[in-house]
Amino acid sequence: MSRFKALVIDKTGEAQSVQVRTVDRSEMMAGDTLVRVTHSTINYKDGLAITGRSPVVRRFPLVPGIDFAGVIEETTDPRYAPGDAVILNGWGVGETHWGAYAELARVPADWLIPLPTAFTPAQAMAIGTAGYTAMLAVMALERHGLTPAQGAAIVTGAAGGVGSVAVALLAKLGWRVIASTGRAEESEYLKSLGAAEILDRAALSSPGRPLGKERWTAGVDSVGSHILVNVLSQTKAEGAIAACGLAAGMDLPGTVAPFILRGVSLLGIDSVTVPRERRIAAWERLGADLSLGTLATMTTTIGFDDIVPTAHRIVEGGVRGRVVVEIG
């Protein structure tokens, strides 16, 4: 396959355009390994890239798509051979390096990990960067020493990708999960994933008091801004919140009261540059702690032509759970 199908973002002046076109291998970026991409997914960051709503894409032309599953076609790396099934997420793929929404991807082998044995390529992408980030957040709470015996765990943006996987993981690990959502119509869905209580996002959206009633011990926040501030102000003494997202905003308009008067911790999660060993550990934990049946109930599957409309929908908060893209 010397020429192949790709979604390409380009920029002329200030105007960004997105189109499906045939590209030539000679246009691809450097890398020691060529992968035939079979599956990808749509994360919030892919939505930002394709809509141009945030400056996620930092070189043009660029193939977006921050994670993929596929099969190695060619490699010079001794750890891999043609035919090996691999996955990739992060490392700037889909931001500064050509990404997943193409039939072929050329990348450094160091960015790849073998497809985890617990998952098919489609299941690995149903988890994708969002689900893997939820696992990193749960592992961060565990490293902090928190256990379900100490109180409840809150998940914000619960009906989204990170949120849905976080609800399922925390519930399976024995936590009493409080799911915060702006979509009341998804209450039954969230309960089916394991949520014990639904909290209307509006209750956390406005500026609140520096310290509120202590309601939860742990949390996974994918939205930021006032919601994260209010979550922190209602966290029990010595508890911790893992922050990974900005769907409500990048600001943190709060006070240090929860930190200095209750010993609450804010744990930052960045999935992009996690070292290879911790990535493999996170994927192993997903194999152990995420029910495949539950994963299936939070997943929808789309084709190549649906990528752009779904990217627009995700940044409007309109996608439930996770989306798998069938590439080839």
Residues that bind ligand NDP in the complex, under the rule CB under 6 A: 43-45, 129-130, 133, 157-163, 181-183, 201, 222-223, 227, 244-248, 269-272, 314, 317, 319
Q: Between residues 222 and 235, which has the closer beta carbon with respect to ligand NDP?
A: 222
- Of the pair 106, 322, the CB lying nearest ligand NDP is at 322
Of 75 and 99, CB closest to ligand NDP: 99
Q: Where are the alpha helices (DSSP H) in 110-216?
A: 121-143, 161-172, 187-193, 202-205
Residue type, 150: Q
The helix-helix angle for 161-172 and 276-289 (nearest 10°) equals 60
Q: How far is the CB of 324 from ligand NDP (least distance, A)?
A: 13
Nearer to ligand NDP, 75 or 164 (CB): 164
Q: Report the residue number, 51 or 150, with the smaller CB distance to ligand NDP.
A: 51
User: Which CB atom, from 80 or from 91, has the smaller least distance to ligand NDP?
Assistant: 91
Q: How far is the CB of 66 from ligand NDP (least distance, A)?
A: 8
Count other C-beta atoms under 10 Å from residue 308's C-beta.
19
What minimum distance in Å lies between the beta carbon of 245 and ligand NDP?
3
- Residue 214 CB, nearest approach to ligand NDP (Å): 23
CA distances from 206 to 125, 177, 228, 318 (A): 35, 22, 11, 21
Which residue is nearest to ligand NDP, using beta carbons? 160
CA angle 27, 29, 30 (to 5 degrees): 130
Find the shortest distance in angstroms from Cβ 189 to ligand NDP: 10
Which residues have CB under 8 Å from 160's CB, separation 6+?
44, 130, 222, 247, 317, 319, 320, 321
We find the least distance from the C-beta atom of residue 44 to ligand NDP, in angstroms, to be 3
Exposure letters 78-90 (e unless 16+ CB within 10 A, then b): eebeeebbbbbbb
Q: How far apart are CA 194 and CA 8, in angstroms?
A: 39
- 324 CB-near residues (< 8 Å, 6+ apart): 39, 40, 41, 122, 125, 126, 299, 300, 301, 302
* Residue closer to ligand NDP (CB basis): 83 or 268: 268
Quote the least distance from Cβ 163 to ligand NDP, whole Å: 6
Q: For residue 325, what are the contacts with CB-CB under 8 A and spacing of at least 6?
A: 39, 40, 41, 42, 65, 100, 101, 125, 301, 302, 303, 304, 306, 307
Decide whether 194 or 245 has the Cβ nearer to ligand NDP: 245
Give the up-direction half-sphere exposure of residue 266: CA atoms within 13 A in the CB hemisphere: 21
Task: Write down the least CB distance from residue 100 to ligand NDP, Å.
Answer: 14
Closest approach, Cβ 319 to ligand NDP, in A, equals 5
CA atoms within 13 A on the CB side of 275: 2
Look at residues 134, 163, 156 and name the one whose alpha carbon lies nearest to residue 285.
134
Asked if residue 166 lies in contact with residue 155, where contact means CB atoms within 8 angstroms, the answer is yes
Q: Which is nearer to ligand NDP, 232 or 246 (CB)?
A: 246
